[in-house]
Amino acid sequence: MQRRTFIRSSLLGSTAALAGLPLLSPEAAVPKLKITKIRYYAAPGYTKPLFNQARGIVEIETDGGIVGIGEGGSKDMIEQCAQMMIGENPFRIEHIWQNLYRGMFYPPGREKLHAQGALDMALWDIKGKALGVPVYELLGGATRDYVECYATGFRASKAKTEEERARDCIEAGLRAYRIGPTGGNGTEPFDFYDNARKTIDLCKRIDAAVGGGGKWAIDLHTRFDTTEGVKICKALENLEPYFVEDIIRSENPEVYKTVRQMTTVPIAVGEQFGDRWDSNNLIEQRLIDYTRFTLPNTGGLSEFKKLASMCETHYVGMIPHFTGPLAVAALVHVLGSSSPTRCLMELAGGEPERPEYFNEDLVNFKNGKLYLKPDPGLGVTFNPKKATFVLEVTANTKYPHPILKSPDGAIHNW
């Protein structure tokens, strides 16, 4: 053994011994693995195409027997990305992310980012399992003990009215109760003026029911034009909601320069966005108070961590939109290891989903809060027998597209 290697191994062993950990050589601590197979499954029973948020499950298998899981993406996008990953070292997560993002001629659209997010999630799961630590430790370690949650609807309530459900939600320990605007069910014409008036009235009733104090929020669902959207916001300023979400449509983020000057309500935007280039102007110009970007939409934990740093720099909070049950579990890891900026997590119905194809304790939820779990990787197990197999990409697949690298080996746009 060379002297330098011996000293490095001795230092590692001494540190491990002091910490009461098993002795590992550097080689053993970081095993050499290759991606051999990627499988994609459909989530059974999921029939909600409304949000365009696929709930498929991906498995990335390595030659060392370690399998990582992720959630999101469509069949075509997963297949294209998977063909670019076979044979790669799964520990080179950022390298793989950059290759998927830059390896084709066109920048990825939000549909491809969704697939990238699922695959990136699975890579972090592999790394945590291989090293025997939870993902939040790999992301810098815990910065908070739990993540507060708010509810969109509250299934546990037996109440007959929205006001009573809101009250039950707060009494159960959740931070806030989120409502939507009146109208917009698709069965009758949406009258902007009438529904703006009814929405303002509903907000007043909910605020009174929960006792004010920012214990409620509203998502306008991009249903209103600027005139009515701003009218609602102005009427809610004295009520002080936790946030008002998606005041107008998301195609033109620059319009929030105008909206920001016309109201003082806390503004939340971003569930329809993807990577940092979608939202960097909104964050850097402080046009919003909270981001709503989420997993896997952003392109995965790797990208979400960078977005969290942008939010910290500009004092913008994070309240991710809910997606699938595995994505919620992954969000606890990234929010639980991010800066102590204000953050909340959304739970549809006021509680985490627990589908039978994942372990029932995939998240640690109690008293309206999601707690960090110490299990290796994402802390979630997947039973493929309870999902629907769709495709498998194997080690024999060769993706023909060339990879453009600089002399130092970094990936560049092709």
Q: What is 292-360 written as a DSSP string?
A: ---TTTTSSHHHHHHHHHHHHHHT-EE-PPP--HHHHHHHHHHHTTS-SS-B-EEEETTS----TTB-T
Report helix, strand or coil for 371. Answer: strand
**Digit-coded pLDDT (tens) for 162-216:** 999 999 999 999 999 999 999 877 778 889 999 999 999 999 999 999 999 999 9
Residue among 312, 304, 324, 342 nearest 380 (CA): 324
Residue 266 region, left (φ>0) first, then alpha (ψ -120 to 50), else beta?
beta
Burial grade of 408 (CB within 10 A; 0-12, 13-18, 19 or more): exposed
Size of the chain in residues: 414
Q: Alpha-carbon dihedral of residues 257, 248, 334, 43, nearest 10 degrees?
A: -160
Q: Domains plus CATH for the chain?
A: 30-131+383-393 (3.30.390.10), 137-371 (3.20.20.120)
Q: How confident is the model at residue 119 (pLDDT cuts 50, 70, 90)?
A: very high
Look at residue 396 in the predicted model and tell me its pLDDT. Answer: 61
d(CA 406, CA 409) in angstroms, rounded, equals 5
**Digit-coded pLDDT (tens) for 301-311:** 999 999 999 99
Between the alpha carbon of residue 288 and those of residues 3, 272, 348, the distances in Å are 56, 15, 23
**Digit-coded pLDDT (tens) for 349-393:** 999 999 999 999 999 999 999 999 999 999 999 999 999 999 999
Q: How confident is the model at residue 62 (pLDDT cuts 50, 70, 90)?
A: very high
Displacement of CA 74 from its chain's centroid (Å): 17
**Quick one: three-class SS letters along 21-78?**
CCCCCHHHHCCCCCEEEEEEEECCCCCCHHHCCCCCEEEEEECCCCEEEEECCCHHHH
Per-residue tokens: 316: 């913008």
Look at residue 47 in the predicted model and tell me its pLDDT. Answer: 60
Q: How much is the CA Rg of the chain, to the nearest whole Å?
A: 23
